[in-house]
Structure 1
Amino acid sequence: MLGAALAASAVRRPPRPGVAPLPADFRWGVALAGVQSEGHCPDSNWRRYSEQHAPTVSDEIGDTADWFCHVEEDVARAKDLGIGTFRYSVEWARTQPAPGELDPEGFAFYDKVIDTIEATGLKPMITLDHWVYPGWLADRGGWLCDDVVELWLQHARRVVERYAGRDVTWITINEPGIYVGFERRNRKLGRMEVGTMKRRLVEAHRGAYALVKSLDPGALVTSNIAYLPAPLNLIDDRWFFDQTIDTMDFLGIDYYYGLSVGNPTVVNDLVGRLWRIRTQPDGLLHALRIYHRKAPHLPIWIVENGICTDNGKPRSDGLTRSDHLLDHLYYLQRAADEGIPVMGYNYWSLTDNYEWGSYRPRFGLYRVDVLTDSAKTRHETDGVATYRAAIARNGVPEGYRPVRREAWGSPAAPWSTTLGRLTHQ
């Protein structure tokens, strides 16, 4: 009987639903981060991890994509896409190279960045901490230093005071759970030390939220959360997201991978082979549903989303950057059609960069062969034209159907994903 019912449902398979364009005020963006992109790296925890070949490191940083010397042209490339928001970070290590010593040249660089962004009509999204702190703080124990929160908030105050009133959207701490994971491995933190770092990240975020509300009234503030495949996301949320939700003006979600019975390839993340992970675009819809249920009063911005290739080569599964982008936008539009208040989307990243220990994983809309090209030439990928066209029409083409089939047996939505595969393939 069950077999007959399934066969009948297969015969009656309805087409996947079409999706409406995203609203006219939807916020499109791109993203990058300091130590991953800037080059000319000051002394920091990550420069040291790189030079000392910490457990997560295979390549030294060098000058990465050298955004330090390519700001104007890269912002122009971003503007040409049609975006409205440019996300970057202001590195504490560049602005305060020694205790009590501020570097005017460091701040001058970030002044140039925000001036360039504004001159092209874009709006800045500034991250206060993208997993990097000064080398002198590393000498004191990093997040185990007794006065780290006070010192970190002094950095946050300097940045917010300098750029208040310039229509900034503020990200306090990038992906706190992943931050802890890298520090745990690279600094060999014990369980008690991990707990200390977690508590201090919560305190730092809450303090930064209060700072922004005091110094830059009206600005939006959040911390972007890395979506982990269920049920890992529920475990990770308990210590940060659930403790800070009252100090978020919107939900910032980073979505890269899903997990399901039919797609266990996310385990490749454990060994750094990100290009071997089979993407799961429909998982974005499940993630949005989960977080909308957790905080129905807050809009959601996909602060990071992208696809990894192996040194810029075509993926073994044939999926292109263009296909990946459109598939994810399709499910983002599905979420909007369901009434989930999605407000923005950032592509990660504008260019290839230093992926926390290696140049082999490539996420850029523009390819940069950092290790072999001293000029750091930007090469346009197929994702550029696709993203430009998607922004112009506020979503996927009419009648678009995803290239990647829906997963089955996802722990985030086991019944809907299994039955969905039976009825919507």
Structure 2
Amino acid sequence: MRKLLALATAVAAVAAVVAATRPQPAEARATAEPFLWGVATAGFQSEGDAPDSNWRRYAEKKEPYRQAVDFRHRYAEDIANAAAMGARVFRFSVEWARVEPRPGVVDEAALAFYDDVVGKIRAAGMRPMITLDHWVYPGWAVDTGGWTTDAMIDRWLTNARRVVQRYAGADALWITFNEPTVYVQMELTNGGIKVWEAPAMFDRLVRAHRAAYDIVHELDPGAPVSSNAAYIPAVQPVLDASFLDRVRDKLDFAGLDFYYGASLDNPTAVHAAAGEFWKVKPQPDGLYYALRYYARKFPRLPLYVVENGMPTDNGKPRPDGYTRSDHLRDHIYWLQRAKADGIDVIGYNYWTITDNYEWGSYRPRFGLYTVDAATDPALTRRPTDAVATFRELVDGGGVTAGYRPKQDPGLCSVVDGLHSCLHPARLGPVAPLG
């Protein structure tokens, strides 16, 4: 989710010039349901058979896309694997480029595919978390200006209404835009917009989200809606000013994606500047600070960790011996610490159920199930150590009361700016998640 820390900091400069409205937060819509353990994936990154889109075109200058991990034909296996781990939520995206390959032309076979995805998720006892836009839009929309034009808002909303109407009543959780600030940054990086067009793109994403929120509540009453923010240490308040603060009255929960921390004794985030994300030392206590930040910002909204995961270098073990299981347990520990301190966290999704196409490369491996997309024609799903760990955590409601994280807390974390240095997280006992 991704995952592009270095480039995202450039968005801070753009976001600083965006005027942010700050309406009052909506009333909390938390429920008494059990904690929502989930897994996540995304259309272009996993489906294969990619139709013409902005990202199909961007990929022509990157590592060959091939067939990704062929979720298009292997989704039943991936959904079954998620259910076997005890997941209660399966996040995926409905690809606008697949559903509407030409302006006004709807591909019913594509919709039938997504019908079956939703059906199998429900049959497996899970809830779908449906993302309407995971950074991908049709090639014909590119050719008519994409997010540089106001016309894009109505085109996007027409598709959003189509999708919401089709899956209303499926007990879905809805995500409008995946990581809006990184969406803008990716469009900047890949040439979809120019620097001076970034503020207008933020404005259009805000307008589209606000309208989509109302569409969901009209067509799928009671279904929760959000947009997940990519949490970037130290600069998140500036990034939030560009989007999240401007839609705070149109959120039913606050969704966040957390991958990397930063502290005085952990300078490894510099590796992200070279795209070597597997060299960044994880800082699990940063999740606690990120949750605490949003609990202060949105005191009446429940929080959901929409993405969290760890990349490895082509599936190789980390030189420091830190495993995917260690990473998973440590982050869940800090989530439980947040709950123990009264923070209303209702769910956690692991990114991702399988390795996939990480926006130009198969080298970063985030999957609970690893897949050698570039070298294995069979695209075999092979479980990592964290598959059994995920099941163990679901069954136990998280880590045990006396668990001690493998990764020590950072010295003066700056995930939440100076606040996280002055008010450091405390190690201590935890209680099971609901």
TM-score, normalised to structure 1's length? 0.90
1:49 equivalent in alignment to 2:58: yes
What is the alpha-carbon distance in structure 1 between the residues aligned to residue 426 and residue 39 of structure 2?
36
What is the alpha-carbon distance in structure 2 between the residues aligned to residue 150 and residue 109 of structure 1?
25
Deviations 1:55-94 (A, max 9, x none): xx3x121110101111111111000011111000000000
Q: Which amino acid aligns with 2:340?
A: D
2:140 to 115, 118, 136: 136
What is the alpha-carbon distance in structure 2 between the residues aligned to residue 419 and residue 290 of structure 1?
12
Q: Secondary structure at the match of 2:206?
A: helix
Which residue does the alignment assign to 2:327? Answer: 324
Structure 1 residue 316: Cα displacement: 1.9
Q: Secondary structure at the match of 2:170?
A: coil
Which residue does the alignment assign to 2:20? Answer: none
What is the alpha-carbon distance in structure 1 between the residues aligned to residue 346 and residue 426 of structure 2?
31
Structure 1 residue 415: Cα displacement: 6.8
What is the alpha-carbon distance in structure 2 between the residues aligned to residue 147 and residue 29 of structure 1?
35
Residue 407 of structure 1 contacts residue 421 of structure 1 at CA under 8 Å; is this kept in 2? no
Residues 71, 245 of structure 1: CA spacing in aligned structure 2 closer, same or farther, 3 A cutoff?
same
1:397 equivalent in alignment to 2:400: yes
Counterparts of residues 344-363 of structure 1 (less than 5 Å): 344-363=347-366
1:160 equivalent in alignment to 2:164: yes
Q: Secondary structure at the match of 1:261?
A: coil
Question: Structure 1: which 5+ residue stretches go unaligned?
Answer: 1-22
Which residue does the alignment assign to 1:125? Answer: 129
Which stretch has the larger CA shift, 100-109 or 408-417?
408-417
1:30 equivalent in alignment to 2:34: no
Which residue does the alignment assign to 2:18? Answer: none
Runs of at least 4 residues off by over 3 Å: 413-424
Which residue does the alignment assign to 1:410? Answer: 413
1:223 equivalent in alignment to 2:223: no
Q: Secondary structure at the match of 1:150?
A: helix
Q: Secondary structure at the match of 1:70?
A: helix
Q: Secondary structure at the match of 2:306?
A: strand
What is the alpha-carbon distance in structure 2 between the residues aligned to residue 270 and residue 199 of structure 1?
28
What is the alpha-carbon distance in structure 1 between the residues aligned to residue 186 and residue 365 of structure 2?
19
What is the alpha-carbon distance in structure 2 between the residues aligned to residue 149 and residue 266 of structure 1?
35
Residues 180, 343 of structure 1: CA spacing in aligned structure 2 closer, same or farther, 3 A cutoff?
same
Q: Secondary structure at the match of 2:289?
A: helix
Which residue does the alignment assign to 2:264? Answer: 261
1:290 equivalent in alignment to 2:299: no
Structure 1 residue 402: Cα displacement: 0.3
Q: Which amino acid aligns with 2:259?
A: Y
Q: Which amino acid aligns with 2:312?
A: T
Q: Which amino acid aligns with 1:83?
A: A
Structure 1 residue 105: Cα displacement: 1.0
Structure 1 residue 269: Cα displacement: 2.0
Residue 286 of structure 1 contacts residue 413 of structure 1 at CA under 8 Å; is this kept in 2? no
Structure 1 residue 419: Cα displacement: 8.3
Q: Which amino acid aligns with 1:280?
A: Q
2:305 to 299, 302, 306: 302
Structure 1 residue 413: Cα displacement: 5.4
What is the alpha-carbon distance in structure 1 between the residues aligned to residue 199 and residue 304 of structure 2?
28
What is the alpha-carbon distance in structure 2 between the residues aligned to residue 262 and residue 73 of structure 1?
42
Q: Secondary structure at the match of 1:303?
A: strand
1:370 equivalent in alignment to 2:360: no
What is the alpha-carbon distance in structure 1 between the residues aligned to residue 33 and residue 143 of structure 2?
49
Which residue does the alignment assign to 1:193? Answer: 197
Which residue does the alignment assign to 2:184? Answer: 180
Q: Which amino acid aligns with 1:283?
A: G
Residues 422, 143 of structure 1: CA spacing in aligned structure 2 closer, same or farther, 3 A cutoff?
closer
Structure 1 residue 397: Cα displacement: 2.4
Q: Which amino acid aligns with 1:47?
A: R
Structure 1 residue 417: Cα displacement: 4.5
1:90 to 79, 88, 94: 94
Structure 1 residue 275: Cα displacement: 0.2
Question: Structure 2: which 5+ residue stretches go unaligned?
Answer: 1-31, 429-434
What is the alpha-carbon distance in structure 1 between the residues aligned to residue 348 and residue 365 of structure 2?
19
Q: Which has the larger radius of gyration?
A: 1
Residues 157, 421 of structure 1: CA spacing in aligned structure 2 closer, same or farther, 3 A cutoff?
closer
Q: How many residues align?
A: 396
1:236 to 225, 234, 239: 239
TM-score, normalised to structure 2's length? 0.89
Which residue does the alignment assign to 2:21? Answer: none
Residues 223, 419 of structure 1: CA spacing in aligned structure 2 closer, same or farther, 3 A cutoff?
closer
Residue 142 of structure 1 contacts residue 148 of structure 1 at CA under 8 Å; is this kept in 2? yes
Residue 253 of structure 1 contacts residue 303 of structure 1 at CA under 8 Å; is this kept in 2? yes
Which residue does the alignment assign to 1:19? Answer: none
**RMSD, matched Cα:** 1.7
Deviations 1:141-182 (A, max 9, x none): 211133000000001000001011111100000000110110
Structure 1 residue 303: Cα displacement: 0.4
What is the alpha-carbon distance in structure 2 between the residues aligned to residue 157 and residue 421 of structure 1?
43
Q: Secondary structure at the match of 2:247?
A: helix
Q: Which amino acid aligns with 1:384?
A: V
What is the alpha-carbon distance in structure 1 between the residues aligned to residue 201 and residue 192 of structure 2?
13
What is the alpha-carbon distance in structure 1 between the residues aligned to residue 377 and residue 49 of structure 2?
13
Residue 278 of structure 2 contacts residue 364 of structure 2 at CA under 8 Å; is this kept in 1? yes
Structure 1 residue 423: Cα displacement: 9.6
Q: Which amino acid aligns with 1:66?
A: D
